[in-house]
Amino acid sequence: MGDVFDDLADEYACLGGVLAGLEPHMWALPSAAEGWSVADVVVHLAQSNEFAVASAGGEQDAFVREDGVALDESMDRLVAAVRATGPEDVLRRWRDSASGSLEALRSCPPGARLAWAAAPLSPRTLATTRIAEHWAHALDITVPLGLAYPDSARLRHIAWLAHRTLPYALAAAGEQARPVRCELTGPAGEHWLYGDPEAASVIRGSAGEFCRVGARRLPAEESSLETEGPYAAVSLRHLRNYAL
Amino acid at 28: A
Indicate whether 73 pLDDT > 90: no
User: Mean per-residue pLDDT for 130-146?
Assistant: 98
User: Mean per-residue pLDDT for 80-101?
Assistant: 94
Q: What span, in angstroms and rounded, lies between the C-alpha atoms of 54 and 205?
A: 38
Tally Cβ neighbours within 10 Å of residue 119.
11
Burial of 215 (0-12, 13-18, 19+ CB in 10 A): buried
Tally Cβ neighbours within 10 Å of residue 24.
9
Name residue 181's beta-bridge partners. Answer: 202
**Among 149, 152, 151, 163, which residue's Cα sits nearest to residue 214?**
163
Decide: helix, strand or coil at residue 67.
Answer: coil
- Domains annotated for the chain, with CATH where assigned, are 4-145 (1.20.120.450), 155-237 (3.30.1050.10)
For 20, residues 6+ apart whose C-beta sits below 8 A from its C-beta are 91
- As a residue count, the chain comes to 244
Q: What span, in angstroms and rounded, lies between the C-alpha atoms of 99 and 130?
A: 12
User: Mean per-residue pLDDT for 227-234?
Assistant: 97
Q: Are 7 and 17 in contact (CB under 8 A)?
A: no
Decide: helix, strand or coil at residue 69.
Answer: coil
pLDDT classification of 2: cutoffs 50, 70, 90: low
Indicate whether 200 pLDDT > 60: yes
Give the phi and the psi of residue 180 in degrees, each rounded to 5. -140, 135
Is the whole-model pTM more than 0.85? yes
pLDDT tens profile 21-60 = 999 999 999 999 999 999 999 999 999 999 999 999 988 7
